[in-house]
Structure 1
Amino acid sequence: MDPTLTMFISLIATSGVFTVFLCMYAYIKRKETPSAYTFVIYTATQAIYIFAHAFEMSSDTIAEVKKWTMLEYIGIGAAPAIGLLIVMQYVGMNLTRTRVAALFVIPAITLVMVITNDYHHLFYKDMYFRENTPFLTTDIVIGQYYIVHGAYIFGCMLAAVVLLLRRWRQTKKAYRLQLVTLIMGQFMPMTGAFVYLMGLTPYGIDPVPMILCITSAMYIWAIVSTKMLTIIPIAKDRIFESMREGAIVLDFADRLVDTNGVITVMFPGFTTDMLGLTLDEIWIRLSGEPFPVARLEDGVQEEFSWRSAEGRECFYQIRSSVVRGRNGEPIGSLLMVIDVTEQKLLQDQLEQLAYYDGLTKLLNRSEFLRRSKMILEEDSSKQLTTCILLFDIDHFKHINDTYGHDVGDLAIQHVVKVSRRVEADAPGALIARYGGEEFVIALPDCSLDKAALLAEQIRAQLAAKEMNGSYGSIAITASFGLTQSSQRGESLQMLLKHADIALYQAKRAGRNQVRLYDGPLESPLDTPR
C-alpha cells in the first residue's frame, strides 16, 4: 500500500476511534446527559461514514467501492440532519415528531437512490478511478439527485451554524466555549465538503473524515473541560414559553414588550400583535375598560376578575417585579399572571359553609354574633345607637304539620325574600337566620323609630303577600321584637335577650305585629310560637 494512502487511512481510522469513543461516552452518560440518545446516534452515523470511507479508500475494484459507498451514505445522509437536530435541541426550539421526521425524508431518499443507482444513475452517472495518482482514488460523475442531496447537507450544516451564532449574545460567557465548539463542529465539516466539491483537495480525497478527527478531539476536550454534554444552557424563550403562569413584559411607559403563550389562553385576543400598546390600551380593546389593576410596586400582588367570552368569571392574581438594565436602573416591569379561579371558588365554598346558612344564604348565627359585636363596639365608641330586630314565622309548626317540611322550607325562603328588602333602606344592616324559623337583623347607627318603621314594612309586606304553589295559598305572617342599645353599654347578648322578650310580647298580644322592648316578661316560655 502506498505510504501516502496509509497515512490518510490512519488519520481516518484515528478519527473513527475518537468518534466511537464519543459515542460510547454519550451512551454511558445517557442518564445525566440531555439529548444523549440523539448524540449517540449522531456519533454512530459519523463512525459508520468514517470507517466505510477508510474501507472505500483501500478498495482496488469499483465493485468494492460501490459496496462501501452504500454503507458510507448511511452516515453521510443522516449525520448532518442529526447534527441540526442536536443544535435545535440545544437552543431550545420546539420540536414535534412531525418536524423531526421531516428532517430525515431527504436522507432516507438519498440512501435508497445510492443503493439502487445502477438501475437509474440519478445519483451518480459514472464511478471510476482517477488516473495519474500515486494510489487508487475514486471519482464520480454526478447525477441530478446528487445536487439535491448536496444542497440538503449544506443547508443542514449552515442552518445549524446560523442557529448557534444567533445564540451568541444570549449565551453567558461561561457557556460560550462550548458554543464555539458546537459552531466549529458544524462549520469545519461544511467547509471541508465545500473544498472537496470544488476539486481543491490533494488527489481528490474527501477531507471530511479527517476533519471529523479534529472536531471529535474538540468535543472530547469540551466534554472534559466544560462538561459540554452534561451542562446545557436553557434558552430564555424556552423557559418563557414553558411557564405555567402568564407573563407580560412592559417597558417603563407600561407599553407591551413581550408576552408568552399562556396569556393568549387566559385572555383570547391578547397577542404579540399588540406590541407597543400600553396595558390600558390593550385592555380597552379586550373588554372596553382600562386594566383593572393600577400600576403595581415591585413585589406587590393583587387580584382581579375577568369574564370570558363564554360568560365564565375567572379570577387572576397578578404579581409585579421590576426589570432592570445592565447598570441596575429600572427599565420596565414583569407581570406574572396566575389563574386562581379554582382556589377562589373553593374559598367561596368554604366561606359559604363557614359563614352562611345553606337554605337561606343568610349569615348563620355564629357569624352574625361575631359581626354584630364589632358593629356594637364601633357604634358605642362613636356614641351611636344600634337596633336589634328579632322575628319569627307565626304558626310555623302548623305549616310543617299540614303541608310538610318541604313547604316549610319554602315558607322560610319566602320570608327571607321579603325581609331582604330592608337592605336597600338600611345600608350596613346584617340579616341572619337565628334559628329554625327565627331571623335577626342588626341595624347600625339607627334610631328606634326608623327601626320600628322598617320592621312594620316587613311585617305588612309579609301579611299582604300570600305564598302560592301546588300546595295552594298560604298566608304567612311574622311577629317582631325590637330593642335599641343605650348609653349603659349593653352587651349583644343582653340586646338579643331584650329583643326576644319583645318578640314574645308580640306573640302574646296576638302575633303579626311589632313590639318594642319595654321591660322583662314574667314567663316567656308559656307563649307558643
Structure 2
Amino acid sequence: MQIITYRTGAFTSMNAAFSTFIALFAISGVLSILLALYTSFQKTHFSGIRLFVWMSITTAVYSFGSSFELASHSLEEIKFWVTFEYIGLPFISPLNLLVVFHYVGRERLMTPRAAIATLALPAVSSLLMLTNDLHHLMYQNIKLRDDTPWPLIDFTMGIGYVINGSYTLACGLVGMWMLARHLRQTLNVYRKQTATMFVGLFIPIGASLVYTMNLTPYHIDPVPATMSFTNLLYCWSILSAGMLTSTPVVRENILESMRDGVLVLDPAGRIADYNKAASLLFPFLAPALIGSNAVQAIPRQHLRPEDADMGFLEAEDRQIEWLEGQEVRHYRIRSSPVYHRHGGALIGRTVVVLDVTETVLLHRKLERMATHDGMTQIYNRTHFVECSERLLTEARRTLEPLAFALLDIDRFKLINDTYGHDIGDQVIRHVVRSCKIYLGDRDVFGRYGGEEFALCMPGREPDDAYGLLERIRRELASGPVMTSAGPVDVTASFGLSAASRDLPLKLLTKQADDALYRAKQSGRNNVQIAGSRDADGDEIPPSLSDAERRKGSNGESASG
C-alpha cells in the first residue's frame, strides 16, 4: 500500500508557517460555529436550512480536530484527534450535497430513505475510525515521521479510507454539477448565491487534489484552512445576497405553482425568467433564451399580423391568437411593470399569460346559439331583426337603397302531414341551401319562424332585389327535393318591400308580409313587390308594377 504523509501536531519552536496552519484551522472552526448559530435563528423558507446547520457543525468538528492534531506533541494525541476529526469529516460532503438538492428545488428526490442512504457510508466510516485499532480498515498503520521539524505521521491507507475518500469526492462533484446546471436557469438576482455555493464546493475539492499531489509544505492537508475561506464566502453571501434566507427555490415554488404562464422581463425587455406553465403555452421557450430580447425571441409566424409588433408584452390587458400548426390558441396577456420598493425605479416587467381558448370557444358557441337557428345555422329572428335595424339605419345615413323580403314555403303543412316532420326539416334545409347560392356577402338571411324566412338586402334597388328573388324561386321550382322518403316537390312564395324615406323596419316588414299574402293569393310560387308607404301610411306605387311582376313570375294557380 502507498505510504501517505499526514499532518500532525506540535513542536517546541513552531515556525511561522506552522502557526499559520493552526490559526487558519481554528478560524475555520470558529466561523463554522458562528454560521451554525446564525443560520439556526434565521427566519427562512429554505427547506434545507437544518442540513446547512449540521454541515457547519461537522465542518467545525473537523477544523477544530485538525487544529488540535497539528498542535499535538505525541503519537497518542495525534491518533486521538484524528479519530475526533472523523466524527465530522465523512459527513461534510454528503450533507453539502443534500443542501444542494434542497437549494435547486430537487428535495423531493431526496426522500428520507435516500437521505439516510446518503449518510450511511459516512456513519460507517466514523465507526470504522473509532474502532480502527481492532481491524485497521481505515489506517493500516500510523507512525511518527523523523524528517519534519514537528511531529507528523506516516500512515498506510486501508480500504475504508479509499472508499470514504472516493465517496466524498463523488458527492462534491455531483453537487457542483447540479449547481452548474441550475445556474443557467437562475434569475440574475440569485446567481450570486448559486455561484457562492459552487465555489464553496470547488475550493475544498481543489485543495484535496493539491494535497494528493503532495504540493503543500510538509504534506499538510490544506482543506481545513480553505474552509475558513469558504465560510467567509458563505457569511458574505448570507449578509449581502440573502443566501439561504431568500433562495431561488422559494421563487420557483411560487412561480411553478402558478397555473398561468409567467414571463419575467428585465428593464431592457430581455427574458429573465419563466415558469413551466409558460413553456407549455409557448413551446419555443428554452433556457438558452434567458437573456435574449423578448421581441426578437418570440417567433412572429405564430401571431396574427396585428399582434406581430409584440405590443401585447406591454399591454395591460390584451387577447391574442397563437397559431401552433393547424391549431389556434387564444391567450389573454396581462403585463405589469415592476418597480423597486426603494426609489421606484423600473426593475422589470411580469407578463402573465392565461389560456382562454376554451372560454373563447364556449363564448362563440353560446353567442352562435343565441344568434343562429339551430337547424339551419342561419340567423334566428331576433338577431336578424337586430342586424336589419343596423343596416336600415346605415342606409338612411348614406342614402343607400335597401330591400326587404319574406319567403314562405308553399304547402309546408301538407308536406309535414304527408311525409312527417323529419322530411319537413330536410325541405327547410334544402330551401336554405338554395337561397345561399344566390345571396351576396352583404345580404342578411334569417329564419323568421317555421317555414318562413326573411332577407335584408342593403345596396339593392327593387329591380335588383326582385331579380335575386326570382332566381331563388326558379332554383326551388326547378325540380323535386330528394329526401329519405323519396322526391318532394317544393316551391316558395315571396313578398318584397323597399326602404323609402324614414320608414321603420316594422313597416317594411308589414309591406313585405302584405306582398307575400298577395303572392299566396295569386297562386303561390311567385314574387310580389309591395308599394312603399309614406309616413302617413299612404301607399306609393312601386317601381315595378304588379302586371310586370306576374309576367316575370310563374303565375300558376295552386290549390290547397
TM-score (norm 2): 0.65
- In structure 2, C-alpha distance between the alignment counterparts of 1:267 and 1:505, rounded to whole Å: 63
CA displacement at 1:471 relative to structure 2: 2.2
Q: Secondary structure at the match of 1:126?
A: strand
**Aligned partners of 1:256 and 1:191: how far apart in 2?**
35
The equivalent residue for 1:404 is 420
| Counterpart in the other structure of 2:49 | 39
Letter in 1 for 2:441: P
Q: CA deviation at 1:343?
A: 2.7
Distance change in 2, residues 1:214/1:463 (3 Å)? closer
Q: Corresponding residue for 1:447?
A: 461
Query: CA–CA distance in 1 between the matches of 2:363 and 2:151?
Result: 83
Residue number in structure 2 paired with 1:342: 358
Partner of 2:511: 498
Unmatched 5+ stretches in structure 1:
323-332, 522-527
SS state at 2:245 partner: coil
Q: Deviations over 1:114-158 (max 9, x none)?
A: 767979x99845352545799997764346546534543664676
RMSD value over aligned CA atoms? 5.9
Q: Contact 1:368 / 1:430 at 8 angstroms: preserved in 2?
A: yes
Q: Secondary structure at the match of 1:505?
A: helix
Change (3 A) 1:216 1:360: same
1:130–1:136: 8 Å Cα contact kept in structure 2?
Answer: yes
Q: Counterpart of 1:431 in 2: which secondary structure? A: strand
Q: Which residue of 2 aligns with 1:141?
A: 156
Where 1:97 maps in the other structure, the secondary structure is: coil
Residue aligned with 1:303, SS: strand
Q: Does 1:152 align with 2:132?
A: no
Q: Could you tell me whether the CA contact under 8 Å between 1:319 and 1:336 is conserved in 2? A: yes
1:22-33 aligned within 5 A: 22=38, 24-25=40-41, 29=43, 33=44
Query: Is 335-344 or 506-515 further displaced after alignment?
Result: 335-344
CA distance in 2, matches of 1:41, 1:80: 8
Q: Which residue in 1 is equivalent to 2:320?
A: 303
- Taking a change above 3 Å as real, the CA distance of residues 63 and 144 of structure 1, as seen in their structure-2 partners, is closer
The answer to whether the Cα contact below 8 Å between 1:14 and 1:213 also exists between their aligned partners in 2 is: no
2-structure distance, mates of 1:74, 1:389:
94
TM-score with structure 1 setting the length: 0.68
Unaligned runs of 5+ in 2: 1-8, 13-18, 70-74, 338-348, 538-558
Q: Closer, same or farther in 2 for the Cα pair 1:503/1:160, shift >3 Å?
A: closer
- Within a 5 Å distance, the mapping from 1:142-221 to structure 2 comes to 142=157, 144-145=162-163, 148-149=166-167, 151-152=169-170, 155=173, 170-171=188-189, 198=214, 200=216, 208=224, 211=227, 215=231, 219=235
Alignment length, in residue pairs? 489
Query: What is the deviation of 1:406?
Result: 2.9
Deviations 1:460-515 (A, max 9, x none): 211224232332222222211001112x3211111001000111111112222111
Q: Is the 8 A contact 2:263 2:351 kept in 1?
A: yes
Deviation at 1:374, TM superposition (A): 1.6
- Structure-2 residue corresponding to 1:97: 109
CA contact (8 A) 1:385 1:444 kept: yes
CA contact (8 A) 2:169 2:205 kept: no
CA distance in 2, matches of 1:161, 1:139: 37
Structure label with greater radius of gyration? 2
For residues 97-496 of structure 1, the aligned pairs below 5 Å read 97=109, 124=138, 126-128=140-142, 130=144, 140-142=155-157, 144-145=162-163, 148-149=166-167, 151-152=169-170, 155=173, 170-171=188-189, 198=214, 200=216, 208=224, 211=227, 215=231, 219=235, 228-232=243-247, 244-245=260-261, 265=280, 293-297=307-311, 299=314, 303-304=320-321, 306=323, 308=325, 311-316=326-331, 339-423=355-439, 426-486=440-500, 488-496=501-509
- Paired-residue identity, %: 25
Q: Is the deviation greater in 262-271 or in 430-439?
A: 262-271
SS of the residue corresponding to residue 387 of structure 2 reads: helix
What amino acid maps onto 1:508 in structure 2?
Q
